[in-house]
Chain A
């Protein structure tokens, strides 16, 4: 009965490859997010979707493309991976935008070699 789940947990890949990370929440929330946490532990929002609609798109390279097939899922596709993309990526969900508790997934540790 995991609230927010992500797959895979670990992802090791070479520069130039394309990869996807999947996220699912079973909390019935309307809003989902992707965050990037770098090696210094800085937690930065990348995207936010509300009812499958893109609400927030931070200054993220267009190699990153989120897709929300339905309210319960938000996937992240990354093209042409670079060394600087190595980080932990967290998916999260909340009842609404910003003003509500965010429930984070377990994270996906992406290592680009």
Chain B
């Protein structure tokens, strides 16, 4: 079955700098890769997703890149702000009728 590895487990960046979180997946049939953000004490919420027919997607300060050959995808946050502090989860799903597999999460700290 699918396995999703996420790195790093913790990341601290200075406010205004960029943050990058990386994930790898094992099943080459995976074709949907969402990213969820979970603020302290809150529920996970989708922030961006990418499908396998696209290599990159941007939404304001957030971007996701996908390398299907290497089976890895990354979340990029530019000009980080205090409200970006949260746990971020990557995920992958092998096909439309299968379950979504989450990475173990990255705790992002934005330092003042």
What residues of A have a CB within 8 angstroms of the CB of B89 in the complex?
43
B102 at the interface (CB under 8 A from A): yes
The answer to whether A97 and B98 touch across the interface, beta carbons within 8 angstroms, is yes
B62 at the interface (CB under 8 A from A): no
Stretch from B19-27, B44-52, B72-80 contacting the other chain? B44-52
What is the number of residues of chain A that contact chain B, defined by CB distance less than 8 Å? 20
B97 at the interface (CB under 8 A from A): yes
The answer to whether B96 and A104 touch across the interface, beta carbons within 8 angstroms, is no
A41-B87, A42-B105 as given contacts; A101 in contact with B99, CB under 8 Å:
no
B93 at the interface (CB under 8 A from A): yes
The chain B residue sitting closest to A101, CB to CB, is B46
The A interface is mostly helix, strand or loop, or mixed, namely loop
Once bound together, how far apart are the Cα atoms of A97 and B100, in whole Å? 8
Expressed in whole angstroms, the minimum distance between the Cβ of A77 and any Cβ of chain B is 21
Q: Mark A43-65, 1 if CB is under 8 A from B, else 0.
A: 11100100000001010000000
B61 at the interface (CB under 8 A from A): no
The answer to whether A90 and B99 touch across the interface, beta carbons within 8 angstroms, is no
- List 6 A-B pairs, minimum CB-CB distance, nearest first: A104-B43, A98-B93, A99-B96, A43-B102, A101-B46, A98-B100
Interface residues of A (CB under 8 A from B): 40-45, 48, 56, 58, 90, 96-99, 101-102, 104-107
Interface residues of B (CB under 8 A from A): 32, 34, 36, 38, 42-46, 49, 87, 89, 93, 95-102, 104-105, 107
